[in-house]
Structure 1
Amino acid sequence: MAATVKFTNAVCESKNKTWITFDRCRLRAINRNKTVLNVEVNFLHPVHSANLNFRMQKRANGYKPWLGEYTVDFCAFMRKSNHPVFRIVFDILKDFSTLNHTCPYVGKQIVKDLYWDAKGLQLPLPSGDYAVLLTWIFDKKPQALTNFYFTFHQDLFNE
């Protein structure tokens, strides 16, 4: 089964600019069918306790909840990756990011040229438009939002 993924939008928002700032949050077109994601974020104070709220939505007359909503203790996940849904997301991200270590996080963290090759996807995903909405929670307060939108197309008849 041939599957293609194309990022369509990226939105990064700091809720507390004294703790976290975004230097870059943008997509770059490589060709007609491929875009890459680049994010540069600065943690102005050490992050020792981080939770990540993950929501995935599918577009159908607006974006509707699709895969569910999960909150993961990000520092514990980085020590032992034990959450099956977030493990799928992190496997896509880990080779393109400097977030692949345990807490504390401080200074500049980068996601560079993130491209999702869906060949290894183990989750059945219908073709369509999707949104991955991430809320970063430090010390029990939402500090940043990172929302990524993409189009997924799977051709079941071409291999």
Structure 2
Amino acid sequence: MSRIGKKAVAIPSGATVTLDGQTVTVKGPKGQLSWTVSDEIEIKQEGAELTLSPRNDTARARGMWGLSRTLVNNMVVGVTAGYEETLELVGVGYRAALKGTALSMQLGFSHDVDIPAPAGITFAVPKQTEVKIAGIDKQLVGETAAKIRRIRPPEPYKGKGVRYAGEKVRRKEGKKK
């Protein structure tokens, strides 16, 4: 039995959930998201809660049960509270700035790195060495942050690069004479 799948998804006030067959649509103050649940999962709305259960007892149905519940919960949280990821730029001369809605970063290359904001994502630069990525889709926020980090990941000798806020970089000892 899925421990995550057994939990009901609470629908807060301000969010509305619409079920159309297997398609779940969630509307909230920050926007709207929809997703089609697998046919192996049965979804029911009871008052201010959504419950998911597997239609049959196969390994795939049990696996999709917890996944579907988590994805629906992420949609509900996204349209009500939203998601945010923070990146830090560590290194001499490493800085970020906004050019309209796009993010422009200097990361030690001979050129600036410009990243256009995907649909549904907003960039903010509170400090030159800090980038905040916000949106309602948890997957898109995390994927955008990972793509930016991949441009210049932290290196182990000096720790220079783009890292997640609070990320610990394992440092290596340099050459000895």
More helix per residue? 2
Q: What's the TM-score bracket when you normalise by the shorter of the two chains? A: under 0.3
Higher relative contact order (CA 8 A, sep 6+): 1
Compare CA radii of gyration and give the structure with the larger one.
2
More strand per residue? 1
